[in-house]
Structure 1
């Protein structure tokens, strides 16, 4: 019997067997997810996070690899701001990026649309992707031989046609456009297949409705295909831009930064500073600045292109 005004202590409610099983299942699912994520997390920490933090530290030091690093503060960044070779390398890299992204994106978009509208053959897709599977060094060596001013097959053909020989890799005017063309040829199929995957996500009903309304192919392309591809194009542009800023091996094999610094891109300048002049602290400072530039450009690209939004939703 309970007196008026008295309180009854709360009774603990035991979870039902079903609730307990659900909680156990969620716990096991979380453990399984962490187990699958662990290799990727370890790889990210070992090959990206730690090297990034190490580079940030080295950018504040004077280090020649043979002696312990000496902290010098922001002296490397002050040197960098006053270094004409750095600004030349940045300008050369920007020129290459504009040429490479422009040609590669436009050609890849056209090729992807042709693949989507005319054929779905796996064999043709494999042929399109074939140049991407060839190592960059091999591609550079092949084009170095083909474009040689005196012995190259390309110049032999141009002379036979009456055009005359062109110093593709030995001219300040032609060197960067030639290197951009070489890498456009190599990465064109890979970029086209990324865009092709985005085209497959566009419903066929949209194209059928446009055809019924009498829209031309050009109008369908500009009013339907390109707007609906915006998220995919944003991804492609970001990947292409980052890859273009990382150009090194083609330059190292063909021109080695010449003629007259016309092809000394940022990565090749970093290589020279670090492994030719043993100025690792200054090279790390250049890498840090490049990382900031890439992060800023990527952020602006994604915001301007509204990459997180889709007109299909």
Structure 2
């Protein structure tokens, strides 16, 4: 009986057409998956991109154009070149408003940053309770207008519960929002109360990224809490703290709503911040071209300050290896 021997099927040479098709299939599949992911990403990004173009990019470009015109909503815009900027440079109220705004920023950022850092460190070192974090964040959930009105009632010179308590302990009532000396620090501290919880949670998130074994090693070496804070916490928290400072400074320069509902720029322009002056020029006197010029100037100031902050604080670098 003869058994027919069959030879094993010959392998295709590597350079054959079938072999090439087999090798190209994974690449084609991967390319198709990448295109599919790109389309899906575009779908999710499209609403945010549309909102950015409609509500940020276009108004910014339109405002820059209007800053070179004389425009009052009732007649077509008239090109005047740099006249609005020349007027702004010679406008004493503009410079006074800028000085008042800087005063607000210094008080607000100084107190808010120190307070938020202290709260964040306490949350990390003593307790990480989600309920406590929610309590800390609660004031931020209130709008600036509501917070301003509530504190306006609390600090009212005659009927406010704050002044009632001050009077009950034998101290003269303080016109927090009606006195030139007290008005701006009071508004700054109102906004500190509202925003400090959110800022503290941002810093708390940065503290969570610091490896705990560094603190344990420092304790073994006998380092005190203060020494660990300055030698470990602050250097490693620097990038997060730098970004938080940039965000809060930009937000502080744009303060408006709290001033509008409490003092409306008074008394005697003591709280007439730049955004309030822009609002008065645009919607009070219908000088939209001049108001746009001041807005563009604020945009330039904020851009310069942000660049300087970013470089000085080295926000894009980290000391974590």
Q: Same fold (TM over 0.5)?
A: yes
RMSD, aligned CA: 1.4
- 2:177 aligned to 150, 169, 181, which one? 169
Moved more, 109-118 or 146-155: 146-155
Task: Name the counterpart of 1:214.
Answer: 222
- Aligned equivalents of 1:108 and 1:300: distance in 2? 23
Task: Name the counterpart of 2:162.
Answer: 154
4+ residue segments displaced more than 4 Å: 11-15
Task: Name the counterpart of 1:127.
Answer: 135
- Aligned equivalents of 2:176 and 2:74: distance in 1? 40
Task: Name the counterpart of 2:115.
Answer: 107
- Aligned equivalents of 2:25 and 2:160: distance in 1? 79
Structure of greater Rg: 2
Moved more, 21-30 or 82-91: 21-30
Q: Secondary structure at the match of 2:181?
A: coil
Instruction: Give 1:28 deviation, angstroms.
Output: 2.1
- Aligned equivalents of 2:211 and 2:90: distance in 1? 54
Instruction: Give 1:26 deviation, angstroms.
Output: 2.1
Moved more, 236-245 or 153-162: 153-162
Task: Name the counterpart of 1:180.
Answer: 188
Q: Deviations over 1:31-59 (max 9, x none)?
A: 22222222222111111111110000010
- Aligned equivalents of 2:310 and 2:201: distance in 1? 21
Task: Name the counterpart of 2:9.
Answer: none
Question: Any residues of structure 2 matched to 1:1-313 within 5 Å, and which?
Answer: 16-313=24-321
Moved more, 151-160 or 128-137: 151-160
Give the structure-1-normalised TM-score. Answer: 0.94
- Aligned equivalents of 1:149 and 1:46: distance in 2? 44
Unaligned runs of 5+ in 1: 1-10
Instruction: Give 1:22 deviation, angstroms.
Output: 2.2
Give the structure-2-normalised TM-score. Answer: 0.91
Q: Secondary structure at the match of 1:229?
A: helix
